[in-house]
Amino acid sequence: MDFNNEMLTIFLQFLKAFAVGGGICLIAQIIINFTDLTAGKILVYFMLAGVVLTAVGVYQPLVEFAGAGATVPISGFGYLLASGAIKGAEKGFFGAITGSLAAASAGVTAAVVFAFIMAIIFKSRTKPN
């Protein structure tokens, strides 16, 4: 593969990720603008949507198509939990329960560690009214 074809392939991957991730964010923004749902409820609904779409087999092809555009939004976390549970279920009931925890452990650990580091570096304060 020559340099120009490789650059075009990378550009198209970025374009697909941006389009899908942007579409997910667009749906969320529309929900925020036209409903009275709180941010917490919207996050939970999107995570559950990722779980449900994974369970019915719709989210995996989206991940294969868009890559990070589908796995980075919160619906991607639901996909991660559901796909971990599905893979763990091959080992039995206990595997189904622990599979999602094993799949999400690296991301959750990184979030906690980096949040701790940022809390040490920066001084937190309340937002003035």
How do residues 33-87 score in pLDDT, each as one tens digit?
Answer: 999 999 899 999 999 999 999 999 999 999 999 999 999 889 999 999 999 999 9
Res 124 pLDDT > 80: no
pLDDT of residue 123: 83
Share of the chain above pLDDT 90, in %: 72
- Sign for the pseudo-dihedral over CA of 92, 98, 100, 102: negative
Cβ contacts of 99 within 8 Å, gap of 6 or more: 84, 85, 86, 87, 88, 89, 91
pLDDT of residue 47: 94
pLDDT confidence bin for 7, thresholds 50/70/90: very high
pTM (2 d.p.):
0.78
- One-letter-per-residue 3-state SS of 77-129: HHHHHHHHHHHHHHHCHHHHHHHHHHHHHHHHHHHHHHHHHHHHHCCCCCCCC
Res 104 pLDDT > 60: yes
pLDDT confidence bin for 2, thresholds 50/70/90: confident
Q: Which uninterrupted H or E stretch holds 48?
A: helix 39-55
pLDDT of residue 107: 87
Question: Rounded to whole angstroms, what are the CA distances from 72 to 13, 85, 93, 100, 127?
Answer: 14, 19, 28, 17, 28
Mean pLDDT computed over every residue of the chain = 91
pLDDT of residue 126: 80
